[in-house]
Amino acid sequence: MWPLSLWSSSASPQVDESSAIALTSPTLRHFDPRLLATLDSLDLQARYVVEGFVAGLHRSPFHGFSVEFSEYREYEPGDDPRHVDWRAYARSGRLYVKRYMQETNLPCYALVDTSSSMEYRGADAWGSKLEVSQVLCAALLWMMLKQNDAAGLLAWSADVDGPELVPPSQKSSQFGVLLRQLDRLAPVSRASLSGLLAVAARRVRRRGLAILFSDLLEPPADLLEPLRELRHSGTELLVLQVLDRDELEFPFAEDTVFEDPETGRRRQVAPSAARETYLRRFSEFLDSHRDQLRGLEAHHRIVRTDEAPWQAIQAFLETRELLG
């Protein structure tokens, strides 16, 4: 059993555009969804997320790399994030600039779930689950390309019959190609996560990294076989489970009409009577996914749509470090 989405519509937040600041400002230390909303392109939103992550990192003396010390220096505000050694950060938690970029050429695939449930946006969220996934995906793709990895994208868009693959590439034009594809994404009623993963298992054959952006609101048993095939191809898998506060906490106080995004079925619910049962069942549902992913030796992190996206970037860096 998985939760029904709340039958409601969320208006876009009203933003004072005068609050916008330069993306490279050293004062950008806290995630501000109001500022993010003023940035009308996915490119700028992605760079804001990365710059905010970089600006918020704690800098401390560099230790543990004495042999290569001459090749590094402490990051300073204004440094190009392309020269940050993300592997060193993942190992030490300290931010340093690498003078010479290493050619890694690791193929990285972003898999974006566009099933109907990803359209949901609660009152406290800075975007729908799909919108949050798009921004985070763009940010991580940008980071992949800046560290010389080949980046690609697989998602089910509204104007094609099935998942569409942008093959991984390191070309200078690749980020623009990926952004255009991400911009086209919208919830698709016929899309399914199991179908997306089945295509990924067939198309992703080289050793590399696949990052899945999804709410995982499908039964774990339906996902087991394609996930297993994907892992057996030698692909490292990072699952960023994007969830809304409403799904995790069930904060409703008044009688509310819920709708199943897949079937359209509606039900009026008294939250006081349903909360305990819902939270127990949803916790069990999450545990089932965690256990299955752990058994497949996949990495898993929950990303909340009402919180800063730093955990997603941290999870990517940690996973990327494991691949060398």
In 3-state terms the chain splits into helix, strand, coil percentages (rounded to 5) of 45, 20, 40
CATH number at residue 54: 3.40.50.410
pLDDT classification of 238: cutoffs 50, 70, 90: very high
pLDDT tens-digit map of 97-145: 765 444 456 899 999 999 999 999 999 999 999 999 999 999 999 999 9
User: What does the pLDDT average to over 188-205?
Assistant: 90
pLDDT over 60 (residue 68): no
Rounded to the nearest 5°, which phi and psi values hold at 49?
A: -65, -45
Q: How distant is the alpha carbon of residue 138 from its chain centre?
A: 9
pLDDT tens-digit map of 160-178: 778 999 999 999 899 999 9
| pLDDT given for residue 60 in this prediction | 29
Least-confidence region, from 7-16, 42-51, 81-90: 7-16
- Average pLDDT of the chain? 81
pLDDT over 60 (residue 19): no
Q: How distant is the alpha carbon of residue 111 from its chain centre?
A: 9
| pLDDT given for residue 220 in this prediction | 96
How many folded domains does the chain comprise? Answer: 1
pLDDT over 60 (residue 304): yes
Domain of residue 82: give its range: 5-322
